[in-house]
Structure 1
Amino acid sequence: MPLKIELKPSERLIINGALIRNLDRKATLLVEGRCKFLRESEIIRESEADTPCKKLCVTLQVLYLADDPTAPENLFVQQSTELMGLMPSAGPFLLAIHDAIAAQEYHRAIKLGKQLVAHEAASREASAA
């Protein structure tokens, strides 16, 4: 089943490791066949990964786009273990992410990672209040 992707002006997209940038008009792409893709709005850049959960999300992105997921999977396990020590409330999120990875649903794992980042931000706000 083809995948229809609409890009806003200047929006970027990664498809199978290639960065695609739309120019000055809205564009519609029809992708036929399986591919790995991330919209710019889904991407957390390494330079923006200033919290443990954001760093874990970068690892999930690398895991999703990697041809060989072994090294990023090992890093995910290490980061998850460290994160559990720092923020035990992350446990249910990490379990759901782990289950998505085990099922090779990497795009879903990234979305769950974004939920974890939101949880981390809410936890920080609550502890600051």
Structure 2
Amino acid sequence: MTLRISLRDGEPVIINGALLRARGRTDFTLENQCTVLRGRDIMMPDQATSPARELYYCCQMAYVEPEFRQDHQKRLLEVLKIIFDQASGPGVVQPAVAMAQKVAQGDFYAALADCRQLMAAEDTLPEASEAA
């Protein structure tokens, strides 16, 4: 399967763990299987400021650093426990369960979408984001 990617000037992309940055508008195609994370989906460590954001970061790192996946998964499970302990309502529980199922299947990229739902739910609960 071929994947076409277009990047704006300065936009980052992670390909197989390497962080690249576009110089000028850049288009390329990926012709084989690899891990890819575009700039808008990349979270830097200093942005993991709440349980849901830390979960996203751990999931992202498990996806892009398979050689350290066990370490990232261990932290991911610790943070997931925190989220379940603080869970209130289907806006948190459902995406957390879906995310955990995808992680268990090794589908870290798809799990990131559930993490984004958790971050959105967390943003509506001031007490949850203050617990980080």
TM-score by shorter chain over 0.5: yes
Paired AA for residue 84 in structure 2: M
Q: Secondary structure at the match of 1:88?
A: coil
Identity of aligned residues (%): 24
Gaps of 5+ in 2: 128-132
The corresponding residue for 1:32 is 31
The corresponding residue for 2:74 is 74
Number of equivalent positions: 124
- How far off its partner does 1:87 sit? 2.8
Write the mapping of 1:29-108 to structure 2, written as runs, cut at 5 A. Answer: 29-68=28-67, 69-89=69-89, 90-108=92-110
Cα distance between partner residues in 1 of 2:70 and 2:19: 23
Q: Does 1:7 align with 2:28?
A: no
State the TM-score, normalizing by the size of structure 2. 0.86
Gaps of 5+ in 1: none
- Higher relative CO (CA 8 A, sep ≥ 6), structure 1 or 2? 2
Cα distance between partner residues in 2 of 1:66 and 1:20: 15
State the TM-score, normalizing by the size of structure 1. 0.88
The corresponding residue for 2:130 is none
Cα distance between partner residues in 2 of 1:46 and 1:60: 12
Cα distance between partner residues in 2 of 1:37 and 1:17: 8
- Where do 4+ consecutive residues of structure 1 move more than 6 Å? none
- How far off its partner does 1:103 sit? 2.2
Q: Secondary structure at the match of 2:124?
A: helix
Mean CA deviation greater in 52-61 or 83-92: 83-92
The corresponding residue for 1:117 is 119
Q: Does 1:21 align with 2:37?
A: no
Cα distance between partner residues in 2 of 1:93 and 1:111: 9
